[in-house]
Amino acid sequence: MSVKAVIFDFFGVISTEVSPFWFRERFSDEEAKILKEKYMTPADRGDLTEEEVFLTLSELSGESPTKIEADFASRVSIDNGMTSLIKSLRGDYKTALLSNAMGTWLWKILKSNDLEGLFDTIVISSEEHEVKPEGRIFETALKRLGISASEAVFIDDNKRNVDGALSVGINGIIYTGLDDLKTKLRELGITV
């Protein structure tokens, strides 16, 4: 079956990562990993609001919630090469965004960078109360795109998330860079 849709992760693919670096600058590597999992995973699942997350991180770090939010925002850097690639796919393929993120915060980034129009559908974990690598969130994206798993390719910088896509039958690519991604898309028969 041929590919009809390409599904993209956001942080680490279209944009730089944010929270892992914030935690690593303030805590040891082991602490950063534990704290990120403890606070950001519930936020990604929609169990904590954006406001609650920044208040909690304020209590942890001693910095104001406003400063933390500004720090998070300053770390966002959109990869223009990636957005150009997505635009080039739009005529021939459906495109989707599938991100583990706080919805209100990610929507601010998408709107301020005029990125919403790049995608046929946008699936944000906190709005669905489902997170990657769980299979249900991939099925949500497929349903919205109106395609079967074998007709989709999912791109993420996290191997666990790609494995989650593979577990439901979606083709998966671990993102390591734009040139490598283009090569792998071509190998799947996708014109880039």
Domains and CATH numbers, the chain: 5-15+77-187 (3.40.50.1000), 19-74 (no CATH)
Give the pLDDT of residue 75: 96
pLDDT for 118-161, tens place per residue? Answer: 999 999 999 999 999 999 999 999 999 999 999 999 999 999 99
pLDDT at position 1 is 64
**pLDDT of amino acid 95:** 98
Rounded to two decimals, what is the model's pTM?
0.96
Residue type, 128: E
Digit-coded pLDDT (tens) for 86-124: 999 998 999 999 999 999 999 999 999 999 999 999 999
Please give the Cα distance from 81 to 87 (Å, whole number).
10
Dihedral sign of CA atoms 94, 95, 100, 102 in order? negative
Q: Which of 102, 111, 108, 171 is CA-nearest to residue 138?
A: 171
Percent of the chain with pLDDT over 90: 98
